[in-house]
Chains A and B, each alone.
Chain A
Amino acid sequence: MYKMQLLVCGGTGCRASASATIVEKLNESLKAHGLTEDAQVVTTGCFGFCEKGPIVKVIPDNTFYTQVRPEDAEEIVAEHILKGRKVARLLYENPETQEHVSDSRHMGFYQKQMRIALRNCGVIDPENIDEYIAREGYSALAQVISDLTPEQAIDMVKQSGLRGRGGAGFPTGLKWEITSKFSSDQKYVVCNADEGDPGAFMDRSILEGDPNTIIEAMAICGYCIGASKGLVYIRAEYPLAIKRLQIAINQAREYGLLGDKILGTNFSFDMELRYGAGAFVCGEETALIASMEGKRGEPRFKPPFPAEDGYLHKPTNVNNVETFANVPVIFLKGPEWFSSIGTEKSKGTKVFALAGKINNVGLIEVPMGITLREIIYEIGGGIKNGKKFKAVQTGGPSGGCLTEKHLDTAIDFDSLVAAGSMMGSGGMIVMDEDDCMVSIAKFYLEFIVEESCGKCTPCRVGNKRMLEILEKICQGKGNMEDLDHLRNLAYVIKDTSLCGLGQTSPNPILSTLENFNDEYIAHVKDKRCYAKQCKALARYTIIPEVCTGCTVCARNCPVEAITGERRQPHFINQDICIHCGVCYTKCKFNAILVQ
């Protein structure tokens, strides 16, 4: 047994900052100091605190080192491991008190969090099944298949109140029950790991940090619905998650936790991977199934639901990664425990990917019912560079933008929908006063237009028309009728699209029209973008008192809109200016004013 362990984050974010080299250097230093018997370096999954990565955590004393560089490895080993003295300069500094916080449990980022789905991420080595087993891994599966009937197990999931974490929030136990009622020679359990929402990365972090929990949960689901085959539909863009999941599957097979007659029972279950190829619409379950069958990922009309007619026309149960990650815990701690967390209709926790203009970017897991204010200011540490909060976008391209007035809403599936957004997969992008909400709406619409599969007309043509109107507005060529037109189109698309992608695609437009109507009006009526994001609407002028007459701007202007004598203040002719912003970036004296 090792006296100490050095946990190094091996998530994609920290690996991009050389965490693999840190592992190497730590191992070298341990060897040099003859400490290889006492301390062990473990590459773990994501700690969540990506903003301060790469993270190195020392246990048992829970010391949390942030922004570690490979050259710091020697000092950590020589000081902390050998002499027991913490390296103060690498500890997290509380931004308010400037005090060093050594224990992660005392950091604002972690204090309000509650980790169920992420319970093992950043704690165990994801490439070693023994570490998962040591943390009660696979004991839920053992309990279910040896002591419970499928009906009893489904009842427990129903009692827990778990709802699908992929976006729509359909009750998981009910879904399992429906699938279990259809009889067939073959049924399938599918895990949706096609995380397409830009800005959400929880599913990837779970697969990278704790792949065994997904295997265990899928096997439990297989037992409940009567399926012997599991399929994980995973993005090809997640090579690390694919690798770790494959390792976990192989190890589980070796241990007899997958395969024929698992743990001496009559239950057999095995699984394989299917790769996505980059199509957002494949998050919709019927499109996902079409894609797994080797076809274009186009959704189809429901009913029949996949529970009846799914993969290869067999009954199929599709759940998302985070949903599965909650399942083993429900059996270990009991459905009553799980349903004691959260709000009346949304039980348990939710993982959010907190990103954008916020101090603590990262992956967080919080109980349902927490407020946006707590997330943004207490966990997230407030807005970057002391700017003013403007909006928070939840639910990705299917969600909406919430404002200051929503900050104290207790968030759960239903309250977010009532506020004009949705939970979605849990992306949470914070925006400040410098973001133009019309541009943000346009950004999401560009995404939708690119990702619409083209099968139904409202989504294929309607979204394209909405995008054209938004482009017109951002060019300063919009009028008030355009705003009415935009709103009408949005409602028609919402009501008449075939699948969830089209039905929710107008949400970013509708929520910004509702909450930031004055910004749209400023673009249309005054032809101004006060956030200075829409280039065509920016007005560049030279402040005569500051201008030194160095002529740099005039020489760089591509349309010769700037005139003036050397050493005399220059002048921009607004009729010729094409708003390219070159003068602004070239001026060394901050003499160009953008309005």
Chain B
Amino acid sequence: MVNFEINDCHKKTIKEICESFGNRRSELINILHRSQEHFGFLPEPVQLEIALNLNMPLAKIYGVVSFYSFFTMTPKGKHPISVCMGTACYVRGAEKIVEALEKELKIKVGQVTEDGKFSLDCLRCIGACGLAPVMMVGDVVHGRLEPEMIKDIISKYE
């Protein structure tokens, strides 16, 4: 579990986000999106603060956070890497790309490197099937990958 100390400044931000959606419970997913954009992830103290603002149980919020794959309770690396595991990428060898990344970064899928530079995840189809297999580093799409190209691509990120 990641330690996250919540301070008054954080609380103020969360209050503002909730207010911008009229403190409506039906806007919970939009509030979570906005909060994750701001904090990078959704640790328990942030969820609790949202619960207080919307006057709803923390368990309900945790239920929603844990349901959707887009929400995360652990922080991502500075350069989050997502390998597409859509069918088109899978049949064109996405698994080998994941293996190469795991070997190069010395982490498993779902983990962050010790220096916090990279995190590795899989996602389902970004719709660039013409370039399969593909991965995203941050917002940049790298396509037509071969396992041998991984080392080079990674070395370009500081």
List residues of chain A with CB under 8 Å of any chain B CB. 12-13, 15-17, 50-51, 53, 195-201, 204-205, 236-238, 274-280, 291-297, 312, 353, 355-357, 361-362, 393, 396, 427, 429, 431, 435, 440, 443-444, 447, 453
Query: Which chain A residues lie closer than 8 Å to B33 at the CB level?
Result: 236, 275, 277
- Are the CB atoms of A199 and B125 closer together than 8 Å? yes
Once A50-B130, A361-B129, A447-B124 are accepted as A-B contacts, the answer to whether A435 and B91 lie under 8 Å apart by CB is yes
Identity of the chain B residue whose Cβ is nearest the Cβ of A239 in the assembled complex: B139
Once A16-B143, A199-B87, A277-B70 are accepted as A-B contacts, the answer to whether A51 and B130 lie under 8 Å apart by CB is yes
Identity of the chain B residue whose Cβ is nearest the Cβ of A294 in the assembled complex: B28
Identity of the chain A residue whose Cβ is nearest the Cβ of B68 in the assembled complex: A277
Once A274-B30, A291-B29 are accepted as A-B contacts, the answer to whether A198 and B130 lie under 8 Å apart by CB is no
Query: Which chain A residues lie closer than 8 Å to B28 at the CB level?
Result: 294-295
Identity of the chain A residue whose Cβ is nearest the Cβ of B64 in the assembled complex: A296
- Are the CB atoms of B87 and A237 closer together than 8 Å? no
Query: Which chain B residues lie closer than 8 Å to A15 at the CB level?
Result: 141
Identity of the chain B residue whose Cβ is nearest the Cβ of A202 in the assembled complex: B127
- Are the CB atoms of A296 and B87 closer together than 8 Å? no
- Are the CB atoms of B128 and A50 closer together than 8 Å? yes
- Are the CB atoms of A293 and B26 closer together than 8 Å? yes
Query: Which chain A residues lie closer than 8 Å to B27 at the CB level?
Result: 294
Instruction: Pick from B63, B70, B88 the residue with the most CB of A within 10 Å.
Output: B88
Among B64, B123, B141, B142, point to the contact of A237 (Cβ < 8 A). B123
Query: Which chain B residues lie closer than 8 Å to A198 at the CB level?
Result: 85-88, 90, 124-125
Query: Which chain A residues lie closer than 8 Å to B124 at the CB level?
Result: 196, 198, 278, 280, 447
What sequence of 0s and 1s flags, for each residue 40-82 of chain B, a beta carbon within 8 Å of any chain A beta carbon?
0000000000000000000000011001111100000000000
Q: How far is the CA of A236 from the CA of B123 in the complex (A)?
A: 13
Query: Which chain B residues lie closer than 8 Å to A197 at the CB level?
Result: 125
Q: How many residues belonging to B are interface residues under a CB distance threshold of 8 Å?
A: 38
Query: Which chain A residues lie closer than 8 Å to B129 at the CB level?
Result: 13, 50, 199, 201, 353, 355, 361
Identity of the chain A residue whose Cβ is nearest the Cβ of B24 in the assembled complex: A294
Identity of the chain A residue whose Cβ is nearest the Cβ of B63 in the assembled complex: A296
Query: Which chain A residues lie closer than 8 Å to B69 at the CB level?
Result: 277-279
Q: How far is the CA of A297 from the CA of B67 in the complex (A)?
A: 8
- Are the CB atoms of B127 and A294 closer together than 8 Å? no
| B132 touches A (CB below 8 Å) | yes
Query: Which chain B residues lie closer than 8 Å to A17 at the CB level?
Result: 131, 143
Identity of the chain A residue whose Cβ is nearest the Cβ of B124 in the assembled complex: A198
Not counting A13-B129, A16-B140, a sample of 15 additional A-B residue pairs whose C-beta atoms are within 8 angstroms of each other reads A53-B131, A198-B86, A198-B88, A237-B70, A275-B29, A277-B69, A277-B71, A294-B26, A294-B29, A295-B28, A297-B67, A356-B132, A361-B130, A447-B124, A453-B67
Once A196-B124, A447-B124 are accepted as A-B contacts, the answer to whether A13 and B32 lie under 8 Å apart by CB is no
Identity of the chain A residue whose Cβ is nearest the Cβ of B30 in the assembled complex: A275
Query: Nearest chain A CB to B96's CB is how many angstroms away?
Result: 10
Query: Nearest chain A CB to B56's CB is how many angstroms away?
Result: 9
| B134 touches A (CB below 8 Å) | yes
- Are the CB atoms of A396 and B87 closer together than 8 Å? yes
- Are the CB atoms of B88 and A429 closer together than 8 Å? yes
Query: Which chain B residues lie closer than 8 Å to A396 at the CB level?
Result: 87
For this complex, 6 residue pairs linking A to B, each with C-beta atoms less than 8 Å apart, are A13-B128, A13-B130, A199-B129, A291-B29, A355-B130, A356-B87
| B10 touches A (CB below 8 Å) | no
| B126 touches A (CB below 8 Å) | yes
Identity of the chain A residue whose Cβ is nearest the Cβ of B69 in the assembled complex: A278
Query: Which chain A residues lie closer than 8 Å to B132 at the CB level?
Result: 355-356, 361
Query: Which chain A residues lie closer than 8 Å to B88 at the CB level?
Result: 198-199, 355-356, 361, 429
Query: Which chain B residues lie closer than 8 Å to A201 at the CB level?
Result: 125, 127-129
Query: Nearest chain B CB to A110's CB is how many angstroms away?
Result: 15
Q: How far is the CA of A356 from the CA of B123 in the complex (A)?
A: 17
Identity of the chain B residue whose Cβ is nearest the Cβ of A279 in the assembled complex: B68
Query: Which chain B residues lie closer than 8 Å to A237 at the CB level?
Result: 70, 123, 126
Instruction: Pick from A197, A236, A276, A357 the residue with the most CB of B within 10 Å.
Output: A236
Query: Which chain A residues lie closer than 8 Å to B15 at the CB level?
Result: none
Which 8 A-B residue pairs are closest in the complex by CB-CB distance?
A50-B130, A201-B127, A16-B141, A355-B88, A277-B68, A294-B28, A198-B86, A278-B69
Q: How far is the CA of A123 from the CA of B71 in the complex (A)?
A: 36
- Are the CB atoms of B87 and A393 closer together than 8 Å? yes
Query: Nearest chain A CB to B136's CB is how many angstroms away?
Result: 9
- Are the CB atoms of A296 and B125 closer together than 8 Å? no
Query: Which chain B residues lie closer than 8 Å to A294 at the CB level?
Result: 24-30, 64
Query: Nearest chain B CB to A278's CB is how many angstroms away?
Result: 4
Q: How far is the CA of A591 from the CA of B91 in the complex (A)?
A: 26
| B11 touches A (CB below 8 Å) | no
Q: How far is the CA of A195 from the CA of B86 in the complex (A)?
A: 12
| B92 touches A (CB below 8 Å) | yes
Query: Nearest chain A CB to B70's CB is how many angstroms away?
Result: 4
- Are the CB atoms of A295 and B70 closer together than 8 Å? no
Query: Which chain B residues lie closer than 8 Å to A429 at the CB level?
Result: 87-88, 91
Instruction: Pick from B27, B33, B129 the residue with the most CB of A within 10 Å.
Output: B129
Once A199-B125, A237-B126 are accepted as A-B contacts, the answer to whether A312 and B67 lie under 8 Å apart by CB is no
Identity of the chain A residue whose Cβ is nearest the Cβ of B85 in the assembled complex: A198
Query: Nearest chain B CB to A242's CB is how many angstroms away?
Result: 11
Q: How far is the CA of A292 from the CA of B26 in the complex (A)?
A: 7
Query: Which chain B residues lie closer than 8 Å to A453 at the CB level?
Result: 67
Q: How far is the CA of A312 from the CA of B26 in the complex (A)?
A: 9
Among B63, B123, B141, point to the contact of A12 (Cβ < 8 A). B141
Query: Which chain A residues lie closer than 8 Å to B128 at the CB level?
Result: 12-13, 16, 50, 201
Query: Which chain A residues lie closer than 8 Å to B140 at the CB level?
Result: 16
- Are the CB atoms of A443 and B87 closer together than 8 Å? yes
Q: How far is the CA of A424 from the CA of B13 in the complex (A)?
A: 42
- Are the CB atoms of B68 and A297 closer together than 8 Å? yes
- Are the CB atoms of B125 and A200 closer together than 8 Å? yes
Instruction: Pick from B70, B134, B140 the residue with the most CB of A within 10 Å.
Output: B70
Query: Which chain B residues lie closer than 8 Å to A312 at the CB level?
Result: 26
